[in-house]
């Protein structure tokens, strides 16, 4: 019989895989709504400029980062372009980003950061190569891409960012949600979702079965609800690994790479431990070496783990491409 100490508990798992991200997103959305309301009040009272009056492309320094990026991200997705004068690919990418920022007409704001002049910010973001492009939405970091990209790909990435900002945080930027004059300022605040709050609370308490049921209830009425899909995937992951013995699982997986159930359990533990690429790589390899029901099981588990990390995460995007290569 396994000892209690040899098993994982839901509290440790939540910390390891940052399963509080769902609730954090909701709290960030609420803060964003409060900031937008205050900005609208200030603009109506003549105490400050409306969002539409701010530049769409701006140079940001360590001194202005908090105001120009973090605070502004409560109203509009802020795309952050890390560049340097000596960087050739940066000189190709930056004009594309600037042109698209103007074209999107307030749905995003472009913040340009010279990494040579602002090394502390580059270190805090973990920038290892440039050009590197990230975004900040409601104070939350959203990695986008590193290296040069075509304008068509950049446009797709920005479209996805805008969609995530709207669905997860209720932020629609200038063109869609600001600049509407008195009507925009008077728009009523959307109340909290009781069903979703109940699901979040159950997850926080470690009531995994209750959380699964609560998220499923939300999705039965709204199948495309982003927060509920993420919460359900995370709660189900916790259920699967809660009673596992990590040492035994890893030994079984190492002993027989063709043991699909063992690989699925090991992938779950990889993800909970924060080893996202290892989890995805393990399952892609399992799909590549199996057939029939075994292949389907590995593929479906990989899709479930994609939901935990989120479709916009670069690691998910890369793993989807790897999965497509082995399938087709």
Catalytic annotation on 87? Answer: yes
Kindly state the DSSP code that residue 51 receives in the 8-state scheme: G
The label of the residue with tokens 């924060």 reads: 274
Of 17, 28, 87, 305, the active-site residue reads 87
Say if CB 200 and CB 231 are below 8 A apart: yes
Of 90, 232, 319, 323, the active-site residue reads 90
Say if CB 43 and CB 171 are below 8 A apart: no
For 32-43, letters b (16+ CB in 10 Å) and e give bbebbeebbeeb
Three-state SS string over 126-159 comes to CCCCCCEEEEEECCEEEEEEECCCCHHHHHHHHH
Kindly state the DSSP code that residue 188 receives in the 8-state scheme: P
Say if CB 87 and CB 147 are below 8 A apart: no
Long-range CB contacts (within 8 A, 24+) of 192-196 = 192/30, 193/218, 195/221, 196/26, 196/225, 196/227, 196/228, 196/231
Catalytic annotation on 311? Answer: no
Residues designated catalytic: 87, 90
């Amino acid at each position: 019989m396994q000892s209690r100490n040899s098993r994982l508990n839901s509290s440790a798992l939540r910390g390891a895989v940052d399963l509080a991200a769902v609730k954090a997103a909701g709290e960030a959305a609420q803060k964003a709504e409060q900031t937008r309301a205050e900005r609208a009040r200030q603009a109506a009272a003549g105490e400050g400029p409306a969002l539409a009056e701010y530049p769409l492309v701006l140079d940001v320094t360590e001194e202005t980062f908090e105001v120009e990026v973090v605070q502004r991200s409560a109203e509009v997705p802020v795309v952050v372009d890390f560049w340097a004068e000596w960087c050739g690919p940066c000189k190709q990418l930056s004009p594309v980003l600037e042109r698209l920022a103007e074209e999107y007409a307030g749905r995003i704001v472009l913040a340009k950061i010279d990494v040579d002049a602002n090394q502390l910010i580059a270190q805090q973001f973990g920038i290892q190569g440039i050009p590197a492009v990230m975004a900040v939405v409601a104070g939350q970091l959203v990695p986008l891409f590193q290296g040069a990209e075509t304008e068509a790909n950049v446009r797709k990435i920005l479209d996805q960012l805008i969609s995530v900002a709207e669905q997860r945080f209720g932020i629609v930027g200038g063109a869609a949600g600001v600049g509407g004059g008195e009507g925009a300022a008077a728009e009523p605040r959307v109340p909290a979702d009781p069903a979703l709050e109940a699901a979040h609370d159950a997850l926080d308490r470690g009531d995994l079965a209750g959380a699964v049921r609560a998220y499923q209830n939300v999705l039965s009425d709204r199948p495309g609800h982003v927060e509920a899909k993420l919460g359900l995937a995370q709660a189900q992951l916790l259920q699967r690994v809660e009673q596992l013995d990590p040492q035994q699982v890893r030994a079984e997986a190492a002993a027989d790479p063709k043991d699909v159930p063992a690989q699925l359990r090991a992938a779950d533990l990889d993800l909970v431990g924060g080893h996202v690429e290892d989890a995805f790589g393990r399952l892609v390899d399992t799909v590549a070496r199996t057939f029939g029901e075994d292949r389907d099981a590995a593929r479906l588990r990989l899709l479930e783990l994609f939901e935990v990390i989120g479709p916009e995460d670069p690691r998910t995007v890369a793993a989807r491409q790897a999965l497509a290569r082995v399938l087709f």
